[in-house]
Structure 1
Amino acid sequence: MRTQIALILFILISCSTHSLRYFYTATTGIPTFPEFVTVGLVDGEPISYYDSNIRREVPRQEWMAEEADYWEEQTQASISSEQNFKANIGILKSRFNQTGGVHIVQFMYGCEWDDETGNREGFEQYAYDGEDLLSFDRNDMRWITPSPQGALTKSKWDSDRGLNEYTKNYLTQECIDWLKKYVGYGRSSLERKVPPEVSVFQKGSSPVTCHATGFFPSGIVMSWQKNGEDLHEDVELGETLPNDDRTFQKTSRLGVKPEGWKKNTYTCIVQHSGLEEDVKRVFTDNSGPPLGIIIGCVVAVLLLGAVIGGIVWKKKKDGGYGKTNTSDTDSENSGNTAQKA
């Protein structure tokens, strides 16, 4: 049974799914932070960056450094988006009866594509001050909002059938075409396989920690055994975080009391597409975290904050996102007005 489960998990972490994601963040009331930031990622790797201070779109990968005309077009699209998003903050503050203070509009969109099965997905979502505001249902070609303040925009956009058809086509076709192009540029980098380094340790009376780092791609499975039997209770799985060398790290913590680990044997098992066989690390009470791991965790958190502009969506999402310029500045002018690659 365990062999079957391991095979299924290996298939899941080694599948050939690629993603194109874009994140837009517009802010007000934060003087030390750019008022508008965009970040583009392919398979979790940053490929482009723009902010309202530098006012130009720049590549983040050598394999994305195309001709100057391409990046000039992207710059103009981001400048247009910047103006629309700044206006939208004003509109939303009015709808929420707000005046001063810190306020944030976030926009995520893009697509995923499996180059083995051909399966494709697309999504587009907005948030305001960390709460969901609008999302696009591409199957029914309509907008969904949990917020009364988003109802006016939903009604306006849904009344434009052509806009919603364009949005669906972009997410399911045009975005996929761009994704395939970018994957072709960076295939040797994006599809590389680097196995994780795994260690198990405990600090004082804190939970036992299994730490995997330095792996690529980001898909990884971490599990525990107690005396050779699968263990699921008291297990806390952390998020996958980026390292500063374009690899990833992840932790899994096991809440074991001292009397527990003195009488039993606990083993952390790690599965990754870069490994020829599972890595197994048995916990002993004299283990301790190497200094490099501690430093790596700190660097990863700082890097993650930098990549997404230090703004975290309060409700976690999973998926990819692409580039659209949507304005809600007046009842006559709304929707996607400056699609970017």
Structure 2
Amino acid sequence: MKKLMILLLSCQVASAVRYSLTFYLILSSGDPNIPRYMAMGDLERVRMIYYDTNIDRAEPRHDWVRKLIQGDPELWDEIVMNAVNYYQFFKTETDSFKRSNQTGGVHIIQQILDCEWDDETFEVDGYNQYGYDGEDFLAFDLKTETWIAANPQAKIIKQEWDKNQRLLFWKYFLTNTCLRWMKGFWIYAWGSLYRTDRPSVSLLQKTPSSPVSCHATGFYPDRAMMFWTKDGEELDEDVDRGEILPNHDGTFQMRADLKVSSIPSKDWRRYDCVFQLSGVKEDIITKLDKAEIRTNWRNGNDDGDQSEKHTFNVPFLLDYCDVKKQNIHTSVKTNFS
């Protein structure tokens, strides 16, 4: 079975795909309500493992991970051991961050580790980026094998790190250890992650003058498009497309807003929201219809936008991780100097 799954990874008949394994590591201080240390792992942006010092155990976050625990307990134990033991190493390694920046109050140090593999070219890529209190701090550029500092404080630490073996350590992790783990995970994750789940699509509006939001949630995979059309032609003006965001259950959500304040009521029927999902031939088309819009102002309910129902336990920390994951390559090129 292992040979078969690795063959599937290597010999896709479809277009080339880049597979990714990402780890989020977070240290906190100054707030007893936030765990001192959190470690999370995502395969293809789907959460598979979570650990923090409050619960003091590693939790599988997907059905296929439970199958891995039964089928390859050694690999699971290796992941858990690394996630737990990394706490002390992480604190020691980033202690100099605090010396350069520390003031009173709450402080957060984040690290994102990601390895990627192209199933057509077999190219391996990856990155290691640190953030301090939500701002970019240091990043390891795998291609140039150098540390890139985002501010003057980080430049001091970069000079220290350039003198030791951290570069070799992280290069080996990103191009060997991380890739080995990813391939081991895919043996058990393939059937679950390479499925297609169609979303539920709703029209939402906060006030009569607000844009109408076409919101799709519960779809999988995250390779999807959403847009508005008028008389069958795609619109660019008066449309605001949101990013694809993860849900708690491993599915995804997205939205596209249409400004309707200048659209006459008689013309609403000419507008459609179109959702397209990779692997599904039929589009999901939702016509702009006032009777179908879910609102807060109509029924007096002020519970907020329905698209916000999927939130994280520590929104600030995890939103930072998700945004940095989506924009990491641009960040290394433009935000760092």
Shorter-normalised TM range: 0.7 to 0.9
C-alpha deviations, 1:244-275, integer Å up to 9, x for none?
44322211111121544533521111110242
1:147 corresponding residue in structure 2: 151
State the one-letter code of the partner of 1:49. Answer: Y
CA, structure 1 residues 213+240, in 2 after alignment: closer, same or farther (shift >3 Å)? same
Residues 1:117 and 1:192: Cα distance change in structure 2 (over 3 Å): farther
The reply on whether 1:217 has 2:216 as its aligned counterpart is no
Corresponding residue for residue 4 of structure 2: none
Compared CA separation, residues 287 and 145, structure 1 to 2 (3 A): same
Cα distance between partner residues in 1 of 2:281 and 2:56:
46
For residues 314 and 74 of structure 1, the distance between their equivalents in structure 2, rounded to whole angstroms, comes to 20
Residues 113-192 of structure 1 mapped to structure 2, 5 A cutoff: 113-160=117-164, 162-192=165-195
The one-letter code sitting in structure 2 at the alignment partner of 1:172 is T
Q: 1:307 and 1:63 mapped to 2: Cα distance?
A: 28
Q: Within the alignment, does 1:42 sit opposite 2:22 as a pair?
A: no
Question: Could you tell me whether the CA contact under 8 Å between 2:45 and 2:246 is conserved in 1?
Answer: no
Q: 1:309 to 1:77 in 2, by over 3 A?
A: farther
> Which residue is equivalent to 2:11?
none
2:198 maps to which of 190, 195, 198: 195
Equivalent position of 1:102 in the other structure: 106
Residue 297 (1) aligns with residue 307 (2): yes
Distance 2:179 2:242 in 1: 30
| TM-score, length basis structure 2 | 0.78
TM-score (norm 1): 0.78
- 2:299 alignment partner in structure 1: none
Q: Aligned in 2, Cα 1:277/1:117: closer, same or farther, shift over 3 Å? A: farther
Higher relative contact order (CA 8 A, sep 6+): 1
SS of 2:324's equivalent in the other structure is coil
Q: How does 1:1-341 map to 2 (within 5 A)?
A: 16-60=17-61, 61-66=65-70, 70-87=75-92, 90-96=95-101, 98-160=102-164, 162-203=165-206, 204-263=208-267, 265-289=270-294, 297-301=307-311, 305-306=312-313, 310-313=317-320, 316-318=323-325
Write out per-residue CA displacement over residues 280-317 of structure 1, whole angstroms, 9 at most, x where no aligned residue: 222123222299x989634312xxx2387844329932
For 1:300, the aligned partner's letter is H
User: Following TM superposition, by how much is the alpha carbon of 1:190 offset from its aligned partner in structure 2, in angstroms?
Assistant: 1.1
Structure 2 unmatched ranges of 5 or more: 1-13, 297-302, 329-337
CA contact (8 A) 1:201 1:288 kept: yes
Q: Separation in 1 of the partners of 2:282 and 2:234?
A: 18
CA distance in 2, matches of 1:15, 1:211: 29
Corresponding pairs, count: 303
**Match of 2:331?**
none
Distance 1:287 1:56, change over 3 A: closer
